[in-house]
C-alpha cells in the first residue's frame, strides 16, 4: 500500500503548503511589507492582505504547542474568553509543517520555505558539517550538552541556513524588526541563525510579555517606522510535554495566555497594529505504557549508521549499506503503531514541501518511523534531556498538525 493511502487510513493531516500552512504565514508577512517575490509561496488563503498592508505594525505571536483542538477545548470550557471570541470571528485554521516540530516550524516562519527546502528537518538530525547527530535547538552534538558555537568548533550560526531570511528581507524593505522573547534565549544559536539582525527585546517572565510588547509598539508609533515584531510564548509546550495537553496545569497556562497576553494586546494602541497569533504545532496525548526506547532494541541499532534521530513522534533512521529492507522489516514487525516509510516516499508525497534540498535528504536519512495513536519512540542521547512524554508532536495526527491563526487589530 502506498504511503499516501497508509497515512489516509491513519487519519493523518498533511501539511497544506498551498495557502494553509505556516509557510504561507511567512509569505503573508513578506507581502504585508512589500517584500514578497514571485518565487515565494502564496500568502494565507482568504486572509485580508489589505489589512496587513495598511498596518503601521504587524505583530506575529507564536504560542509554542497551542493546537487548534486545545484552543477549541479551552473556548468550550469558557477558560479563554478572548481567544474564544477571536476564534469565532477572526480565525483562519492552518496546518503545521512536517515534521510538526518547533525547529522545522521556526525555519519555515523565518524563510517562507518548507522544511525540505530550508533543511532544518527535526529537533535532532544528522549534520555532515559536524559529523554527528545534532540537537538543533541547542545547535550542538545530541550526546553532549554543548553548542557548536563553543570550542573546539567555534562555529557561526549566521548563514547556516543558506536562504534569505525574513529578517534580512524585511531589513532590505526598510522595516524595523524586533524579537520579543525570554531573556534566556537572547544569544541562542537559533536566534543568531534565523534573526541575527533583529533587535532583541527580552522579557523576564511570560507575565510581562504583553507589557513589553505594548511599550515597544507605543515607542515605534512615535517614530513612525513600519514595524514587525515576533512575540514568542514558550511555556505551554513545556507543560504539555511533561504533564500532558489535558492536564490542569495546561489549562491554567491557557488561561494565563488569554488573560496576560491576548487581553492586553486587544486594547487600543497608537497607530494601526495588526496581530497574528498562531502556533508551531499542537500536542497529542500519549500513553506512557506505549513508550519505546530504541536502546531496548539493540538488533535495530546494530543495523544503523547512527542512533535514530528526529522527534518523539517521528524517527529518522540511516541504515548501514544493504540494511534498508532489514530495518524496514524490523520496524514494521516490532512497532505496530507506526507507519514505516522510505524517506524518498515522504519527499515524493510532498510532506517536506518542494523543492527538497540535498542537505534535507542527507539529514533525514533513508527510513522514517511515523507514530500514530498514542505511541512514542526515542533514543536517549543525554539522559537528562529526553524521557517519555505525556504529550508530544512531530507526526501527522490532527492534534499535532492543526494550529490556529487568529487575526485582530488594535
Alpha helices in 224-323 (DSSP H): 235-243, 248-256, 263-265, 298-302
Tell me the CA end-to-end span of the chain in Å, nearest whole number.
Answer: 51
CA distances from 280 to 9, 10, 64, 100, 261 (A): 25, 22, 6, 7, 17
CATH node for 3-8+286-392 = 3.30.1360.180
The domain ranges of the chain are 3-8+286-392, 19-284+401-409
**CA 116/CA 355 separation, integer angstroms:** 7
What is the pLDDT at residue 271?
84
CATH, domain 19-284+401-409, list 1.10.1060.10, 1.10.268.10, 3.40.720.10, 3.30.300.30: 3.40.720.10
CA-closest candidate to residue 394, choices 237, 282, 288 = 282
What is the pLDDT at residue 52?
97
Low-confidence residues of the chain: pLDDT under 50: none
> Who contacts 120 (Cβ-Cβ below 8 Å, separation ≥6)?
103, 104, 106, 107, 136, 161
Answer yes or no: pTM beyond 0.95.
yes
Are the CB atoms for 331 and 338 separated by under 8 Å?
yes
**CA 57/CA 376 separation, integer angstroms:** 41
Residue 261 DSSP code: I
What is the pLDDT at residue 215?
97
What is the pLDDT at residue 385?
64
What is the pLDDT at residue 270?
83
What is the pLDDT at residue 384?
65
Are the CB atoms for 178 and 201 separated by under 8 Å?
yes
CA distances from 409 to 19, 59, 159, 224, 258 (A): 22, 10, 34, 17, 16
Beta bridge partners, 407, equal: 276
What is the pLDDT at residue 386?
59
What is the pLDDT at residue 89?
87
What is the pLDDT at residue 1?
86
What is the pLDDT at residue 91?
87
What is the pLDDT at residue 61?
99
What is the pLDDT at residue 224?
87
> Who contacts 227 (Cβ-Cβ below 8 Å, separation ≥6)?
56, 57, 58, 175, 176, 177, 178, 217, 220
Amino acid at each position: 500500500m502506498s504511503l499516501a493511502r497508509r497515512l489516509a487510513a491513519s487519519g493523518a493531516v498533511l501539511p497544506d503548503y498551498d495557502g494553509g500552512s505556516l509557510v504561507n504565514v511567512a509569505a503573508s508577512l513578506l507581502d504585508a511589507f512589500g517584500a514578497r517575490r514571485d518565487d515565494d509561496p502564496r500568502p494565507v488563503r482568504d486572509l485580508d492582505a489589505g489589512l496587513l498592508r495598511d498596518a503601521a505594525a504587524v505583530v506575529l505571536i507564536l504560542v509554542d504547542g497551542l493546537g487548534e483542538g486545545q484552543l477549541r477545548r479551552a473556548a468550550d470550557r469558557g477558560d479563554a474568553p478572548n481567544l474564544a471570541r477571536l476564534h469565532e470571528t477572526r480565525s483562519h485554521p492552518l496546518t503545521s509543517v512536517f515534521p510538526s516540530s518547533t525547529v522545522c516550524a521556526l525555519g519555515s516562519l523565518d524563510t517562507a520555505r518548507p522544511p525540505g527546502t530550508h533543511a532544518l528537518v527535526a529537533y535532532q538530525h544528522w549534520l555532515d558539517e559536524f559529523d554527528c547527530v545534532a540537537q538543533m535547538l541547542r545547535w550542538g552534538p545530541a550526546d553532549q550538552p554543548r553548542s557548536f558555537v563553543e570550542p573546539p568548533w567555534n562555529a557561526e550560526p549566521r548563514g547556516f541556513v543558506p536562504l534569505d531570511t525574513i529578517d534580512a528581507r524585511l531589513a532590505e524593505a526598510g522595516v524595523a524588526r524586533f524579537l520579543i522573547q525570554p531573556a534566556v534565549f537572547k544569544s541562542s544559536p537559533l536566534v543568531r541563525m534565523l534573526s541575527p539582525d533583529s533587535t532583541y527585546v527580552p522579557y523576564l517572565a511570560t507575565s510581562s510579555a504583553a507589557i513589553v510588547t505594548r511599550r515597544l509598539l507605543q515607542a515605534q508609533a512615535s517614530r513612525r517606522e513600519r514595524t514587525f515584531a515576533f512575540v514568542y510564548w514558550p511555556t505551554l509546550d513545556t507543560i504539555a510535554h511533561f504533564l500532558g495537553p489535558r492536564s490542569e496545569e495546561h489549562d491554567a497556562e491557557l488561561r494565563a495566555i488569554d488573560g496576560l497576553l491576548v487581553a492586553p494586546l486587544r486594547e487600543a494602541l497608537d497607530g494601526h497594529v495588526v496581530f497574528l497569533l498562531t502556533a508551531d504545532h499542537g500536542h497529542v496525548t500519549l500513553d506512557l505504557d506505549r513508550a519505546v526506547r530504541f536502546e531496548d532494541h539493540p538488533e535495530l541499532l546494530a543495523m544503523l549508521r547512527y542512533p535514530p534521530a528526529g522527534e518523539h513522534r517521528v524517527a529518522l533512521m540511516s541504515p548501514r549499506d544493504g540494511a534498508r529492507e532489514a530495518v524496514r522489516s524490523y520496524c514494521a514487525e516490532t512497532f505496530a503503531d507506526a507507519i514505516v516509510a522510505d524517506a524518498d516516499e515522504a519527499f515524493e508525497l510532498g510532506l517536506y514541501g518542494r523543492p527538497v534540498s540535498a542537505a534535507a535528504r542527507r539529514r533525514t536519512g533513508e527510513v522514517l518511523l511515523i507514530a500514530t495513536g498514542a505511541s512514542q519512540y526515542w533514543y536517549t542521547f543525554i539522559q537528562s534531556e529526553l524521557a517519555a512524554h505525556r504529550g508530544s508532536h512531530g507526526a501527522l495526527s490532527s492534534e499535532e498538525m492543526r494550529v490556529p491563526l487568529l487575526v485582530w487589530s488594535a
